[in-house]
Structure 1
Amino acid sequence: MIWLYTLFALEVLNIAVFLPVFGAFARSLGATPSTLSFIDSSCALITLLWNPIIGSLSDQIGRKGLLIKCLAASVTGSIIMAASPSLLVVFVGRLIGALGGSVGILLRSIVGDIFESPDDKKTFFSQSAPFISVAFLVGALSGGFLSEAQHGYRLSFLLMASVMGTAAILAQCFIPDDTKTIPEKSSKNKKNESLLKSGLNELKTASADIKSLSWSRYKTIFIIKASYDFATSLIMTNVGLILLNEYEIQGRYLGYTFLLISVISIIANILQLRLKSMFDNISDYEILMKGGLVIIVSFIGMSIASSVFVFLFFLAGMFLIKAFVDTILVQMITTKTEENDRGKVIGAFENLVPLAGFFAPLVCGLLTAICGHRLLILSASLPLMYSIIIAKNKIE
């Protein structure tokens, strides 16, 4: 199954190359902060609407074909951005690339399909986590170094296209064909439909399928996931400004800070593998409850830190525990779903990250104006307290 680990790593590598590059590239073409916000918000909106639909469609027509199409959209978007002569063309490339942003959802659903045993699914995600963290580290460093070269931004986008193109080839060669059979009557009707009408009908069916799902079965884990993601988004929206304004950390030293975060995630993933036998004796909800308590302590430490080293110590602690929690949450949702609803549930589950990223800046702007950055960090404890109570109730 090395090809499956590779696909996960390539997807994260693509994201990591993009992160340090896009903002600076857009600014070089004349983008203002408001323009960048508009582009990011537009892509976030597409992701919010698109992910659950792709997940539902994958339950109906199969995941392999959709995965290759999403990878192709990502490749197309990257090539357009690499060749873009203007900010408008960059915007178009980003929008097309956003349609390929469901790769992670489809890969997680494929893992759920391939591994029948819940223990096997948990083992896969535990073992893949270090590969993903290393891929993120390599991607971020590659994007950073390429951005300093001549035509470096465009080379970064071409690298992204190559990465996702490679992933598409691997998917075509190694993922088992899971195309679902279309009923004969439906097939005859489709022959008389235009491609556009057929696609719209499939999206309509997928949307109705999402609504029909019994979401109460997944309510608890969705609430806990949303609480963790929103709390983390509040911190990440402000951490750069805090380091810059209060500790005068900027430029490459700010990059080193995020490099530290990547290394911490790798260490956390390796520790989780080493301590697997110990975690097997503790319930998932107990891990989530204790993890939430430790993260709250790290929030308190960051809010009162008098030096940058103390601040970074607690920030690293937060990411160390968050890496554990993220792996547990992915394992829980993947093992809890069944094949006929796995895609739509995981699609909605992964949508919680962009949803938190969409609302966090709005909340941060309001709270920062009222109480400042330090109290804002402390306020991130509130959603985690709620998730701790829910996890504690599930244990009891």
Structure 2
Amino acid sequence: MNNLPRQKLIILFTIFVDVVCFGIVIPLLPFYLEEFQATPFTITLLFSAFSLFSFLSSPSLGVLSDRVGRRPVIIWGMVVSAIGLFIFASANSLWVLFLGRIVDGLAAGKFTTLQSYMVDISRNDKERTQNLGLAGATFGLGFMIGPMIGGILSNISISFPFWFTGVLALLNALIAFLFLPESHHNKSVKQFSINPIIPLKKAFVDKKLRPLYTTWFLFTFAFVLSQAVFSLFAQKVFHFDSTVTGFLFSFLGGIVLVNQAVLLKRVWLKYFSESKLEYLMMAILSIGFFLMATKINLFFYIGILFLGIGQSVIRVVITSQAAASATPQTKGEVIGVLGSIMSASMAIAPIIAGKLFESEPYYPYLLAALFCLAALFISTKLKFRKTKFEEDLTLPTNEI
């Protein structure tokens, strides 16, 4: 246990650098693709290509991390991600762009392995939720800084940030190789299968987990609908350029950072049970998406605020509940399924968002609000909770 603070520091730094890379890339994609005369629908197809291969790889990487450990999967993922970014940065045609995003998508499951690492070093249920919140806060910090770096670097050239991100991913892999210890010592002995459908099928056969996974799918679908057209919406409706859009993403990341680093422990987990938090945050998200759909500048900013608060808490609560349901030998698999479900949303939702955006820019946000309302309805009506989450306990102040 004496090495625990060092482990936590190293893994949080690894998460931070990984998310900075992600934060640099995402806001700049539409502007980079303008160089290739890509339509909004093509842009969303590119998002979907990344997500489709993330969907296919996440469950398998989760199972693999249960079998061989978290560390090798994390390092492998960073190296493959760097290769994908270099391909993307050097592209001279659309098909090469798609190839780059596909390769990067194959490595995207590493983030759920990073979450599994945080679960591994947690000593109890309360610490698990807090550690996942800390990982989320680190995500927020990285997503706040990444877009700012990307916006600044894009002034050199629109492709330069992608080269920079590839180098950063390789450096992160090197740091993990040199300093990141293994966290998973209760290795799974079951045979590894590359077939991603096996863990997904197993997950949805589980009657206790199925409602949780359904709620997670609706939430992630709504979130991805909004994010897939965020840069396009800001550009078309408010005429924001790449620099301003990057700062908007940073604003969102800042909200996530404050919410998960400070408010999660001191407010949300102090005064609400996890089940009630899920209901409250789904409602907040619904309101936020409706506000963003109004196309009114002030309401758009308030909607971003609600989006940052709602989605960052829901991610932690659902991931924590999923981890609590798993054995030490299957935590990577269960969290990997969550990542795969999110990737499925990221594969499908951008295509729908792109088509809706071409009809009317605010339609994706209206649909996102409706999906959150559906998730709220399911989570309240089905009342799925594992026993430890059924008790409306709030964490005592001295334990937070």
Same fold (TM over 0.5): yes
Q: Which runs of 5+ in 2 are unaligned?
A: 1-7, 384-389, 392-400
Closer, same or farther: CA 281–112 of 1 in aligned 2, 3 Å: same
Corresponding residue number in structure 2 for 1:193: none
In 1, Cα distance between equivalents of 2:266 and 2:210? 29
1:231 is aligned, of 222, 226, 229, to 222
Spell out, residue by residue over 1:323-371, the C-alpha distance to the aligned partner (whole angstroms, 9 max, x if none): 222222222222332222222221120123232222224434565677x
Does residue 220 of the first structure (1) align with residue 249 of the second (2)? no
Aligned-residue offset at 1:316: 2.0
Corresponding residue number in structure 1 for 2:279: 289
Corresponding residue number in structure 1 for 2:118: 111
Which has more helix, going by share of residues?
1
In 2, Cα distance between equivalents of 1:116 and 1:93? 39
Closer, same or farther: CA 78–337 of 1 in aligned 2, 3 Å: same
1:101 is aligned, of 80, 88, 108, to 108
Letter in 1 for 2:182: P
Whether the 8 Å CA contact 2:89–2:163 is kept in 1: the answer is: yes
Corresponding residue number in structure 2 for 1:169: 174
Give the match's secondary structure for 1:380: helix
Does residue 270 of the first structure (1) align with residue 261 of the second (2)? yes
Aligned-residue offset at 1:15: 0.7
1:137 is aligned, of 138, 141, 144, to 144
In 2, Cα distance between equivalents of 1:354 and 1:89? 21
1:339 is aligned, of 320, 328, 337, to 328
Closer, same or farther: CA 177–169 of 1 in aligned 2, 3 Å: farther
Letter in 1 for 2:349: A
Aligned-residue offset at 1:43: 2.5
**After alignment, is 162-171 or 114-123 more displaced?**
162-171
Corresponding residue number in structure 2 for 1:190: none
Whether the 8 Å CA contact 1:225–1:329 is kept in 2: the answer is: yes
Q: Which runs of 5+ in 1 are unaligned?
A: 187-200
Letter in 1 for 2:149: S
Give the match's secondary structure for 1:339: coil
Spell out, residue by residue over 1:136-195, the C-alpha distance to the aligned partner (whole angstroms, 9 max, x if none): 12211111211211x5624x2343233222332333232227588898xx9xxxxxxxxx
Q: How does 1:119-130 map to 2 (within 5 A)?
A: 119-130=126-137
Corresponding residue number in structure 2 for 1:348: 337
Corresponding residue number in structure 2 for 1:189: none
Corresponding residue number in structure 2 for 1:72: 79
1:382 is aligned, of 363, 370, 382, to 370
Corresponding residue number in structure 2 for 1:47: 54
Report the TM-score when normalising by structure 1: 0.81
Give the match's secondary structure for 2:27: coil
Aligned-residue offset at 1:289: 0.7
Give the match's secondary structure for 1:263: helix
Corresponding residue number in structure 2 for 1:19: 26
Give the match's secondary structure for 1:176: coil
Letter in 2 for 1:288: E
1:257 is aligned, of 237, 244, 248, to 248
Aligned-residue offset at 1:70: 1.6
Identity of aligned residues (%): 17
Give the match's secondary structure for 1:148: coil
Whether the 8 Å CA contact 2:15–2:114 is kept in 1: the answer is: yes
Corresponding residue number in structure 2 for 1:328: 317
Whether the 8 Å CA contact 2:48–2:347 is kept in 1: the answer is: yes
Letter in 1 for 2:324: T
Spell out, residue by residue over 1:264-323, the C-alpha distance to the aligned partner (whole angstroms, 9 max, x if none): 2223223424525x5245221111111222222333434446x31133223322322222
In 2, Cα distance between equivalents of 1:268 and 1:122? 14
Letter in 2 for 1:333: A
Letter in 2 for 1:390: I
The aligned length equals 374
Letter in 1 for 2:377: I
Give the match's secondary structure for 1:203: coil
Give the match's secondary structure for 1:217: coil
Q: How big is the alpha-carbon RMSD for the aligned residues of Structure 1 and Structure 2? A: 3.3
In 2, Cα distance between equivalents of 1:303 and 1:90? 30
In 2, Cα distance between equivalents of 1:117 and 1:137? 30
Whether the 8 Å CA contact 1:61–1:180 is kept in 2: the answer is: no
In 1, Cα distance between equivalents of 2:368 and 2:322? 24
Closer, same or farther: CA 363–17 of 1 in aligned 2, 3 Å: closer
Whether the 8 Å CA contact 2:120–2:184 is kept in 1: the answer is: no
